[in-house]
Amino acid sequence: MNALEVRDVAFAYGPRQALQAVDFSVAPGSFAALLGPNGAGKSTLIALLTRLYDLQQGDIRVLGSSLRQQPRQALAQLGVVFQQSTLDLDLSVEQNLRYHAALHGLARRAAQARIDEELARQQLAERRHEKLRALNGGHRRRVEIARALLHRPRLLLLDEASAGLDPASRLALNRHVRALCRADGLTVLWTTHLLDEVEQDDDLLILNRGRLVAQGPARRLGAGDADLAATFARLTAEVSP
């Protein structure tokens, strides 16, 4: 069973077509990089995956459950890190996580056990009593990842999670998520517009102007970084009218 199946998905904002005939699947335990320039439709796809928007066409299955027919089961398997942070800067790391767990109906004891586990896994245990405001951007992102994983989802979606970080923190975050993926068999869908966040072993999905223009192992789409850059530039080039 695939971790994610997107079948013939299309979406329009009024007259503006944002996604068209988008069709792909992601195998369990893989790191899929959804790459596309600004405006390609990445956030729209994430909004559909998380049911922020209702599907207009096609269907999406998460670990076999259809978003249309079994939305609760499908969403229970999903953890999401949105582009815009929703952490409270004036609460501590732990308070942020507790607040989220309470919102989602996790019993107090069970929640504390999960929080301890996730903070250790994200190497944040020693920062637990610090206010979010005291953490750098990369660590704040890790708190969001911990929060997204509290209910033990099998598929983690990250929408431009590295946006706004300096280059070193960006790559550190990217490596950190890859390590989680390898260690726990978590499936990751990592969206970005930055080519240097893609590695040769990734399942690469290239989105441009609402269409999937390439998909497959990154190494097949470009043997070296330079080749991949050329492929990306060619596939996402503006078509002259």
Nearest to 25 by CA among 54, 55, 78, 62: 62
Nearer to ligand ADP, 100 or 141 (CB): 141
- Minimum distance between the CB of residue 26 and ligand ADP, rounded to whole angstroms? 18
Element (H, E) at 218: helix 218-221
Nearer to ligand ADP, 49 or 149 (CB): 49
Nearest to 229 by CA among 209, 206, 212, 210: 206
- Minimum distance between the CB of residue 157 and ligand ADP, rounded to whole angstroms? 13
Q: Which long-range contacts (CB under 8 A, 24 or more apart) does 214-219 make?
A: 215/24, 218/33
How far does the chain reach from its first CA to its final CA, in angstroms? 42
- Minimum distance between the CB of residue 197 and ligand ADP, rounded to whole angstroms? 14
- Minimum distance between the CB of residue 159 and ligand ADP, rounded to whole angstroms? 7
- Minimum distance between the CB of residue 111 and ligand ADP, rounded to whole angstroms? 32
Nearer to ligand ADP, 42 or 142 (CB): 42
- Calpha distance 165→171 (Å, rounded): 9
Q: Where are the alpha helices (DSSP H) in 62-151?
A: 71-76, 93-103, 108-121, 137-149
**What sign results for the dihedral spanned by CA atoms 39, 42, 43, 45?**
positive
Amino acid at 218: A
Chain-centre distance of CA 239, in angstroms? 29
Nearer to ligand ADP, 50 or 112 (CB): 50
Q: Which stretches of the chain bind ligand ADP, using CB under 6 A?
A: 13, 16, 18, 36, 38-44
Nearer to ligand ADP, 50 or 95 (CB): 50
Please state whether 8 falls in left (phi above 0), alpha (psi between -120 and 50) or beta: left
Nearer to ligand ADP, 52 or 107 (CB): 52
- Minimum distance between the CB of residue 163 and ligand ADP, rounded to whole angstroms? 10
Nearer to ligand ADP, 46 or 181 (CB): 46
- Minimum distance between the CB of residue 43 and ligand ADP, rounded to whole angstroms? 3
Tokens (6 digits) for 49: 């995956």
